[in-house]
Amino acid sequence: TTAAALEHFPVNFTITNLPYTSDLENPDSAKFRATRRVMNTLLDRLLKESSIGPVFQGCETTGFRY
C-alpha cells in the first residue's frame, strides 16, 4: 500500500461569541496566541471524533478577521 498525500485546505467560519479586537490582528499578541490555542484544541477534538478522524492530522489557525 502507498501512503496518502497530505492535503491542506482552508475552512472559514464565524465565532459569534468572540468579540473582535485589534489584538486578534497581531499573531504576536497574547490574545491571538491564546485564542489560536483554544481554537486549535477545540477543532482538533471535534475533527478527530468525526468521520475524517482516522486520517485527520491536525489543524492550524492562521488568522482572525472582522
What tens digit of pLDDT does each residue of 10-20 get?
Answer: 888 888 999 99
Rounded distance between C-alpha atoms, residue 56 and residue 44, angstroms:
8
Residue 53, CB-side half-sphere exposure with 13 Å CA sphere: 6
List, in order, residues 6 or more apart from 18 with CB less than 8 Å away.
Answer: 35
Instruction: Tell me 61's DSSP state.
Output: -
- Say if residues 56 and 48 touch (Cβ distance below 8 Å): yes
Contact 24/35 with Cβ under 8 angstroms? yes
Domain definitions of the chain by residue range: 22-53
**Structure confidence by residue, pLDDT tens digits, 34-65:** 999 999 999 999 999 999 899 888 889 999 98
